[in-house]
């Protein structure tokens, strides 16, 4: 009988789920003995194990065998390994191993964290301001290390924040689960997995730009930390709704409810800035947030490396806040209509409110990718009849929430804007209709709405989301000619960039690429082209050494990635003469100008759509 048993045979009865788990009790990868299963979800399970040689406890995540047939799932599991392995910070769990089991399942070994989640701590009710800021500061420090490594977490929530005891401090923070982290292409050494328009995440902790399926950066993580901090101070989630769509609508359009009057005004202002709908209005970085927290709490706050010396005390409210923190904080949070780029998230062990059934298991809806974004938008809310614009006046204030919902594909909101008299519709309304239609893959009507918006306000040609929608419309059979016409006639320099992207991004020459090339060669289009694009085009056309020498000098000053292919060809010392072994451009070898131009072009990023 095992120690502590209270009845005969108790030692022979294992918990039912562990008895059914074939991994418990086995040694995997020749070095990890699996002791118990800690949790299981739609994609995989997490175990506590021990390294048999080092006698050290570790956590092992194992992807379900049937999930390995889904390339997207495997890539994201690998992404977690890349992200967790690259970040070295006391407030982030460390990844130590990654591999494949005999049955084909992938596994990831992480630092074992013995403690309790912030979710569990929140069951005790609201936290004192000092404790909440102490926890938030450590989370910010961990996020800052991730951001410095080119990684955006994208699923920060109380479940992914562990509180452990270390150095006599009970609230030492460990940030977990980088399963859907966004790793920059530069940091990863390749192309990014996430595509614009894909939606990932836990809706209650999504930034507005995430909920809209847009591109995100580190400020999305800071918004999520704002939601977590608001919840620590209020004792309940910031936004609540029975349905996923309700949550997303609140993230997009509603201000956070006010914190209790007992919360220090300086702390409340700090949280309000974190929860700005417009990313540009939030803190720019985790380091800036840390500086703001340090202005509110005493010198006992944790240092940038995560070292902690006990919970700090508040410094006496807003009177002690430095000028850099006061700016934009003390006043009520500014409310903005969402118009900047963004993107969202989900966890290995917890689906984001909605799931699919694949292979008999629940799978988070982020696996739907771009299709999921379209379905998400369709579920939120149809209007067409996009005619000629007339009004350049600002949209009525009461239409702000309608415009915000229409932008993300709310059918009811699109219909409401489309029902307004065409003579009264503003550029903002046309733009919202266009973006909403694009979310619903109605690209032909989307392009017409964009055309009308641009007639009223040509400055909208710089809207990055709209440019992405126009580029995607080129791949739609019903809209490609309209999209190319708008790129050539209404978008100026960005339109020329789109035309080049269509023409040069594939070696396949077809009717679409031929049309893009013919439009790009028009004088009125070339007149708006950027210097970088003009250099790329001129380099492709030039063949004489005197022409090329002049262009190489210009390329060093202005060329970007689009000129790299041609400059690389010019750098080759083969291709001419007997058996193609001769140097076609020996006249360019007199100095280092060509090499310098190539390096300069490689360092300048081309426009992305």
Q: Which residues are catalytic?
A: 155
Token digits for 108?
Answer: 């990831």
Rounded Cα distance, 101 and 103, in Å:
5
Angle at alpha carbon of residue 15, lines to 14 and 18, rounded to 5°: 90
Token digits for 582?
Answer: 């001769």
Residue recorded with tokens 């951001």: 147
Evaluate whether 561 touches 504 at the Cβ level (below 8 Å): no
3-state secondary structure of 109: strand
Token digits for 317?
Answer: 């409210």
What is the enclosing helix (H) or strand (E) of 46?
strand 44-51
Token digits for 141?
Answer: 């420090």
What is the enclosing helix (H) or strand (E) of 171?
strand 169-175
- The DSSP code sequence of 180-248 is T-EE-HHHHTS--S--TT---S-GGG--HHHHTT----HHHHHHHHHHHHHHHHHSS-SS--SSHHHHH
Evaluate whether 267 touches 295 at the Cβ level (below 8 Å): no
Q: What is the DSSP letter of 255?
A: P
Kindly state the greatest CA–CA separation across the chain: 95
Rounded Cα distance, 403 and 389, in Å:
17
Alpha-carbon separation of residue 107 from 37, 100, 159, 162, 307 (angstroms): 14, 6, 21, 21, 30
Evaluate whether 112 touches 48 at the Cβ level (below 8 Å): yes
Task: Provide CB contacts within 8 A for 1, sequence distance 6+.
Answer: 8, 10, 11
Residue recorded with tokens 């989301």: 465
Rounded Cα distance, 26 and 4, in Å:
24
Evaluate whether 209 touches 220 at the Cβ level (below 8 Å): yes
Angle at alpha carbon of residue 210, lines to 207 and 213, rounded to 5°: 160
Task: Provide CB contacts within 8 A for 595, sequence distance 6+.
Answer: 571
Burial of 288 (0-12, 13-18, 19+ CB in 10 A): middle
Residue recorded with tokens 């997303």: 248
What is the enclosing helix (H) or strand (E) of 60?
strand 56-63
What is the enclosing helix (H) or strand (E) of 253?
helix 244-253
What is the enclosing helix (H) or strand (E) of 512?
helix 511-520
Evaluate whether 207 touches 157 at the Cβ level (below 8 Å): no
End-to-end CA distance of the chain: 66
Rounded Cα distance, 490 and 199, in Å:
30
Q: Which residues pair with 108 in a beta bridge?
A: 61, 98
Q: Which residues of 69-95 are buried (b: 16+ CB within 10 A; e: fewer)?
A: ebeebeebbebbbbbbbbbebbbbbbb
């Amino acid at each position: 009988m095992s120690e502590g048993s209270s009845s005969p045979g108790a030692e022979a009865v294992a918990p039912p789920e562990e008895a059914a788990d074939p991994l418990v009790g086995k040694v995997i990868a020749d070095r990890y003995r699996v002791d118990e299963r800690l949790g299981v979800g739609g994609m995989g399970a997490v175990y506590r194990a021990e390294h048999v040689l080092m006698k050290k406890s570790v956590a092992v995540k194992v992807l379900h065998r049937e999930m390995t047939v889904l390339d997207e799932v495997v890539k994201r599991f690998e992404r977690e390994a890349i992200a967790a392995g690259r970040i070295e910070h006391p407030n982030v769990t460390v990844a130590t191993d990654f591999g494949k089991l005999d049955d084909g399942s992938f596994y990831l070994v992480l630092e074992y964290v013995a403690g309790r989640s912030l979710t569990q701590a929140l069951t005790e009710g609201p936290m004192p301001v000092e404790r909440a800021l102490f926890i938030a500061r450590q989370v910010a420090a961990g996020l800052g290390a991730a951001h410095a490594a080119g990684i955006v977490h994208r699923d920060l929530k109380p479940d992914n924040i562990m509180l452990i005891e270390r150095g006599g401090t009970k609230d030492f923070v460990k940030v977990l689960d980088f399963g859907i982290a966004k790793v920059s292409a530069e940091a990863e050494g390749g192309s990014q997995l996430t595509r614009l328009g894909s939606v990932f995440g836990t809706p209650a902790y999504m930034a507005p730009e995430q909920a809209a399926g847009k591109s995100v950066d580190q400020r999305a993580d800071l918004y999520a930390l704002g939601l977590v901090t608001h919840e620590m101070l209020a004792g309940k989630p910031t936004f609540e709704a029975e349905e996923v769509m309700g949550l997303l609508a609140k993230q997009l359009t509603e201000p956070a409810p006010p914190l209790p009057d007992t919360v220090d005004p300086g702390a409340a202002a700090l949280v309000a800035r974190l929860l700005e709908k417009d990313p540009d209005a939030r803190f720019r970085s985790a380091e800036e947030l840390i500086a703001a927290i340090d202005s509110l709490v005493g010198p006992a706050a944790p240092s940038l490396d995560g070292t902690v010396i006990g919970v700090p005390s508040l410094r006496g409210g807003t009177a002690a806040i430095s000028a850099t923190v006061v700016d934009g904080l003390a006043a009520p949070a500014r409310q903005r209509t969402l118009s900047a780029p963004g993107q969202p998230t989900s966890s290995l062990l917890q689906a984001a409110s909605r799931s699919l059934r694949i292979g008999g298991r629940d799978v988070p809806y982020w696996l739907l990718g771009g299709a999921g974004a379209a379905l998400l938008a369709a579920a939120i809310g149809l209007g067409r009849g996009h005619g000629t614009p007339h009004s350049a006046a600002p949209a009525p204030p009461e239409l702000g929430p309608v415009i915000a919902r229409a932008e993300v594909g709310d059918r009811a909101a699109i219909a409401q804007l489309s029902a307004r008299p065409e003579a009264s519709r503003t550029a903002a309304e046309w733009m919202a209709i266009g973006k909403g239609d694009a979310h619903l893959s109605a690209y032909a009507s989307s392009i017409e709405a964009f055309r009308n918006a641009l007639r009223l306000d040509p400055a909208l040609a710089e809207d990055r989301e709209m440019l992405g929608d126009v580029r995607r419309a080129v791949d739609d059979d019903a809209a490609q000619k309209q999209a190319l016409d708008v790129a050539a006639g209404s978008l100026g320099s960005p339109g020329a960039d789109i035309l080049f992207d269509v023409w040069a991004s594939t070696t396949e020459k077809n009717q679409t690429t031929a049309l893009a090339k013919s439009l790009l060669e028009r004088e009125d289009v070339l007149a708006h082209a950027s210097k970088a694009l003009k250099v790329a085009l001129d380099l492709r056309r030039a063949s004489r050494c005197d022409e090329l020498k002049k262009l190489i000098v210009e390329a060093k000053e202005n060329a970007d990635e689009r000129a790299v292919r041609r400059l690389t060809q010019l750098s080759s010392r083969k291709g001419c003469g007997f058996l193609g072994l001769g140097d076609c451009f020996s006249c360019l070898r007199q100095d280092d100008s060509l090499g310098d131009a190539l390096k300069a072009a490689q360092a300048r990023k081309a426009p992305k759509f």
